[in-house]
Amino acid sequence: MKIIVFSVMLGITVGQVTAQDSTHRLHRYEDKTALQKITGTFKSTRVINAHSTEMLHKGELDFRIMHRFGVIKNGVKDLFGLDVASMRMSFDYGISDKLMVGLGRSTILKDLDVFVKTRILQQTNGGKKMPVSLLLAAGYIVTTMESFATVKPGFGDRSSYYVQLIAGRKFSNDFSVQLSPLLLHNNTTLNPTDDKTIFGLGGGLRYKVSKRIAIMLDYHHAFGRLDGVITDPLSIGIDIGTGGHVFQLHFSNATGMNEKGYLTQTTGKFFKGGIRFGFNLSRIFHPGKKSKKW
């Protein structure tokens, strides 16, 4: 009798173990084939100057301040550039998880800019693996600074337009790269001999060194005829995540903080002292969302 009871109990135990093992294998199989969206390629919707592969979620409002000081090479007479400052302030809003808009104002030339940005592809793992994220951004910039020319420029003369394709990939939890070709058209150029339509090929890089800190790089090269003093914009810095804030500290040779500014108006030579210290501060709000009660 004991032998029979023992045999029954052994059979039940083996059956449970086999069933658990089969279920475990099934879960592992499902995890491998389930669609997994890759997020956090970059910490913010901007690398430093340029748009990144990141989007705001529906209903999110991003209040952003981008700040640039003067060139460091001037030394102590203007405290290594800290006595000189320029700024861009903006509000970006997520209409949906795949569509966002933004409005910004720069102190340089008193530029106003608006943009729309949409996601075309999302990097994923799983059954239908997508190796990259692909986005499209388009914007309009108008200079509002008073002109003292004999013939006053009209609204159209002050306008610029751009369209940008952004392709990025998160290779690991620590390393992300993007390419961001950009087509920019200025109805009027600062230098009469400059091409009105300029193509820029740019890219961004993020390398995470700790849970909240990453090294950032943002670079563009302009193809076309520009004044000899114009140089490629290069920015290098660190990205610090602090809860609802993203704080960036960086060095850049670009003063302009919109697409027209950094692509066609950068004059400082990065490796010859023409760099500026700056910071970007981003704060995400959720307007209209009720706070949860304890």
- What pLDDT digit, counting tens, does each position of 235-248 carry? 999 999 877 678 99
Mind listing the pLDDT tens digit for each residue in 187-226? 988 888 999 999 999 999 999 999 889 999 999 999 999 9
133 CB burial (10 A radius; 0-12, 13-18, 19+): buried
CATH superfamily of 57-285: monomeric porin ompg (2.40.160.40)
Given a cut of 80, is residue 127 above it in pLDDT? no
Q: The pTM is what?
A: 0.81
Q: What is the percent of the chain where pLDDT is above 90? A: 62
Q: How far is CA 116 from the centre of its chain?
A: 14
CA distances from residue 184 to 76, 137, 154, 181, 216 in whole angstroms, order as listed: 37, 12, 19, 10, 24
Give the model's pLDDT for residue 200.
96
Given a cut of 70, is residue 4 above it in pLDDT? no
What mean pLDDT comes out for the span 165-173? 95
